Amino acid sequence: MMYKRTALFLLLFGLITANALAQYKTEMVVAKDGSGDYKTIQAAIDDTKSFPSERITIYIKDGIYKEKVKVHSWNTNLSLIGESKEKTIITYDDYFDKIDRGRNSTFFTYTVLVEANDFHAENLTIENTAGKVGQAVALHVEADRVSFNNCRILGNQDTVFVSGDGARQYFKDCYIEGTTDFIFGEATAVFENCTLHSKGNSYITAASTPESSKHGLVFKNCRLTAAEGVTKVYLGRPWRNFARTVFLNSKMGDHIIPKGWHNWGKPEAETTVYYGEYGNSGSGFKAESRVDWSHILTKDQAETYTLNKIFGDWKVADK
């Protein structure tokens, strides 16, 4: 295994040829310049074994890959590893009105769609470049045991959709930006050591946590930043009435509105949502000014938000 990994990195730097790696069916390389096994990411994904018994790793060389990428439900145990998060870029520009497929057009606007369990990505950028034109998803995840490490996820409204009733998803050391509801959905998703960058006066999160789920969106040790001129941002609002969102030990800029949370014009949701904070800091953390239907957690309550307790039998690890 060590030999295979070393050989692949030699290929990334042009020191050996793609033909020399043909025997490694669980590892392949994508390169726009033709120096790898495939020129597009989707071609590599489509050529992988369905439901493999061991992990398949697709290494992606630096380049701008303008394509809608779909990881099908049968592409389980798949990793996409970029050469660098700044220069390995998956990009597209679909948006709600452009798709024009009715009221659910949002869910067709993705740049990357993950439907397969046990997916992992790292060292790459996923972006939707449609601009400020309404709903335009960059990353749509609808699978269980999915992880992202050291990635940039860029967009405006609805940048990241974390979906799947009971699905567990993990984001570590990622940079995520957007305007309105730029992290939204029903999954149990943990964001650790991430930067959340607001590009407009709006809302960071819009959880739609099912009533049966103990956890929704959990942010640990994150930084909340904003573009120049952005001064009025809420931590979240409930897309559905049992939304659960918690920020722990995170640093908040002064763009965060003192009230912190919004009820989306649904006063009845104030009795069903769970919005909590613990150990936060920065000029945007004003515990005494938060809405009275949110929660400032005790130390004992905060200690229940460990990965083991949130994810249960899924042991998150780099893939």
Query: What range does the domain containing 297 cover?
Result: 62-72+83-311
- 103: confidence class by pLDDT, cuts 50, 70, 90: very high
For the ranges 20-29, 55-64, 261-270, the lowest mean pLDDT is seen at 20-29
- CATH of residue 236's domain is 2.160.20.10
In a domain, 125, yes or no: yes
Phi, psi (rounded to 5 degrees) for 142: -135, 55
Note the pLDDT of residue 316. Answer: 87
**Distance from chain centroid for Cα 122:** 11
Mean pLDDT of the chain: 93
In a domain, 25, yes or no: no
CA 33, 63, 145, 166 torsion-angle sign = negative
Note the pLDDT of residue 6. Answer: 47
Q: What pLDDT, in 10s, does the model give residues 260-284?
A: 999 999 999 999 999 999 999 999 9
In a domain, 30, yes or no: no
In a domain, 1, yes or no: no
Task: Give catalytic status of residue 313 as yes or no.
Answer: no
Decide: pTM greater than 0.85. yes
Contacts with 267 (C-beta within 8 Å, 6 or more apart), sequence order: none
**Distance from chain centroid for Cα 235:** 17
In a domain, 14, yes or no: no
Q: For residue 143, is pLDDT > 90? A: yes
Catalytic residue among 33, 37, 158, 173: 158
In a domain, 20, yes or no: no
Strands 125-128 vs 152-154: parallel, antiparallel or unpaired:
parallel
Task: State mean pLDDT over 199-207.
Answer: 98
- 189: enclosing H helix or E strand: strand 188-192
Q: What pLDDT, in 10s, does the model give residues 216-245?
A: 999 999 999 999 999 999 999 999 999 999
Distance CA 164, CA 236 (A): 20
Task: Give catalytic status of residue 46 as yes or no.
Answer: no
Note the pLDDT of residue 21. Answer: 47
Q: Report yes or no: 160 and 138 within 8 Å, Cβ to Cβ.
A: yes
Distance CA 231, CA 201 (A): 6
Q: Exposed e or buried b for every residue in 72-100, given b needs 16+ CB within 10 A?
A: eeebbbbbbbbbebeebbbbbebbbeebe
In a domain, 134, yes or no: yes
Note the pLDDT of residue 20. Answer: 46
Distance CA 138, CA 126 (A): 6
Looking at the structure of the chain, the number of domains it has is 1
In a domain, 303, yes or no: yes
